[in-house]
Amino acid sequence: MGDTAVNHRLDIWAWLFFNKYRGAKFDCVGCGGGSMRRMIAEHLQKHPSQKEDLLEGKDWFMVPEGELAWITDEKRQYEWLFYKLRRMTDGGAVSLLPNLQGRSQLVAMIDIWGFNTEEKIRELKSIKKDWIQHKRGDDRFKWFADKAEGEKRCRFASDWLRKNEPHLAWRIKPIENYTELLIFFDREDLAQAELKLLLMNIRRGWNRQVSRERQTDKKQYNFILPNKVVDLLDELAEAHALRRAQVLELLIKKEHEQNVYLAGWERRF
């Protein structure tokens, strides 16, 4: 190939180029594997005239590395780009190659895509802009990124979705962390209103569970009180930013400690 330095990206593209456009019929395990360069070399030995095709094709197909620098090995970005690039580049065949994974797989889809570099650069800039805009929406999920309880909240969301929204969650593995939660919602691509309601309901469910856990040493009682007393109770609760139950609890505890109001109540009423 006129270049003794190992250039993994170029090797992958050359393998795909000969296989797709020059009828090489390579074994699929070769792409990205240890036998890839040997396959390419043997093909060129049999078809030396295709070396010129390779050199010309490289300039037509392969965008500068700088245009791909924003594509990383981050799991969430890979998942988001994989489906988008597979549809856009008709990269189904590339996605099935067993030794081509991660970022190299995404770049290969772009490199072998049958558009010239000018068109590819224009599309890549658009996709990059979409990715940046997409990540700006992560603020909606910051409640799940809490350092102390974030993973618990993510697991609760997974269980809640399976129970309450099975049409969304039936095909997913249990969500264990924040990244997996983001990937799940990236795939679902819900409408804004639907997503907002879903997240609100998950938080409500979490709050109910936490409230139940905190009240394991409490019991519920029902009392019949005169309307006037209920009004007074509401006034106290509002004045002190407390719930009715909290007002009653504080008053009962204080009276039990000091025995000021109830002592001798028979004589006063």
Mean pLDDT in residue range 181-197? 94
Percentage of the chain lying above the pLDDT 90 cut: 70
Task: Mention every residue, 6+ apart, whose C-beta is less than 8 A from residue 88.
Answer: 113, 123
Q: Kindly report the average pLDDT of the chain as a whole number.
A: 90
- How distant is the alpha carbon of residue 63 from its chain centre? 28
Q: What is the pLDDT of residues 30-78, one digit of tens each?
A: 999 999 999 999 999 999 999 999 999 999 999 999 999 999 999 999 9
Over residues 126-134, the mean pLDDT reads 97
Residue 119 has pLDDT above 60, yes or no: yes
Q: Is the pLDDT of residue 1 over 60?
A: no
CB atoms within 10 A of CB 185: 20
What are the boundaries of each domain within the chain? 8-136, 146-214, 227-262
Residues 6+ apart with CB under 8 A from 20: 93, 112
More confident residue, 195 or 262: 195
Banded pLDDT at 206 (limits 50, 70, 90) = very high
Q: What is the end-to-end Cα distance of the chain in Å, rounded?
A: 106
80-112 pLDDT, tens digit each: 999 999 999 988 899 999 999 999 999 999 999
More confident residue, 67 or 221: 67
Q: Compute how many other C-beta atoms are within 10 angstroms of the C-beta atom of residue 144.
A: 25
Distance CA 57, CA 64 (A): 14
Q: Return the structure tokens found at 82.
A: 């994989």
pLDDT in tens, 257-269: 888 777 766 555 5
d(CA 252, CA 216): 20
pTM of the predicted structure, to 2 decimals: 0.75
| 42: amino acid identity, one letter | E
Q: What is the mean pLDDT of residues 19-36?
A: 94
- Within the chain, what is the greatest distance between any pair of CA atoms? 116
Kindly give, in sequence order, each residue whose CB lies less than 8 Å from that of residue 216, ignoring residues fewer than 6 positions away.
Answer: none
Q: Which amino acid does the sequence have at 7?
A: N
> What ranges in the chain are assigned the alpha helix state H?
8-21, 36-46, 50-61, 75-89, 92-95, 102-112, 117-136, 150-164, 166-169, 178-188, 192-214, 227-239, 244-258, 265-268
Predicted pLDDT at 5: 35
Whose structure tokens read 């028979």? 266
